[in-house]
Amino acid sequence: MPCLTNSLCSLLTALYNLTSSHSHSHHSSTSLSSSGTSSMALAKLSQCLALLFLLLALRHLVEAESTEMASLAAAPSPATKIDCGAACAVRCSKTWKQKMCKKVCRTCCSRCNCVPPGTSVYTRPACPCYATMTTHGGRLKCP
């Protein structure tokens, strides 16, 4: 967040300086001759291009920040521990080896702080750490 704030401040300062220089050049341009008209037009064009660049950079920063905030909101907070016992009780509710399932599930949950919802194998991608953990033999560990 501080990076965005610093970038926004520098962009806004540059934008302010650009508009200030534009208003000063406008007041002094009345004394220019017709030969200075083309250089004044070129200066205005460069100011417009600089302004366009600053606005595009500002838009990019805002989009990047909103994407980052959305990903942070979607990810579970590592500080918030889930109730592995309850989550594994649901996950293992339909298996015929409940005791073993719950034991392994709690191990996976404590390492990943995540248990896929429900009992289906198709929900495993909801928790990639849990879904990809393997045994020493290379088999999937978590139920």
Most confident of 16-25, 26-35, 41-50: 41-50
- Same-domain status, 18 and 57: yes
Q: Are 69 and 98 members of one domain? A: no
- pLDDT tens-digit profile of 61-94? 667 666 555 554 444 555 689 999 999 999 999 9
Range of 99's domain? 84-132
Do 70 and 88 belong together in one domain? no
- 140 has which bridge partners? 134
Of 49, 74, 99, which one is at a domain's C-terminal end?
74
Domain contains 39 = yes
* 119 against 17, higher pLDDT: 119
Do 94 and 68 belong to one domain? no
* pLDDT per position as a tens digit, 89-125: 999 999 999 999 999 999 999 999 999 998 888 999 9
pTM of the model: 0.45
* pLDDT for residue 17 is more than 80: no
Q: Taking the CA atoms of the chain, what radius of gyration do you get in angstroms? A: 30
DSSP single-letter state for residue 76: P
pLDDT at residue 128, rounded to an integer: 94
Do 44 and 93 have their domain in common? Answer: no
Measured distance CA(70)–CA(64) in Å, rounded: 10
Contact 113, 82 (CB under 8 A): yes
**Phi, psi angle pair for 140, to nearest 5°:** -60, 130
CB 84 within 8 A of CB 106: yes
Per the structure, the count of domains in the chain is 2
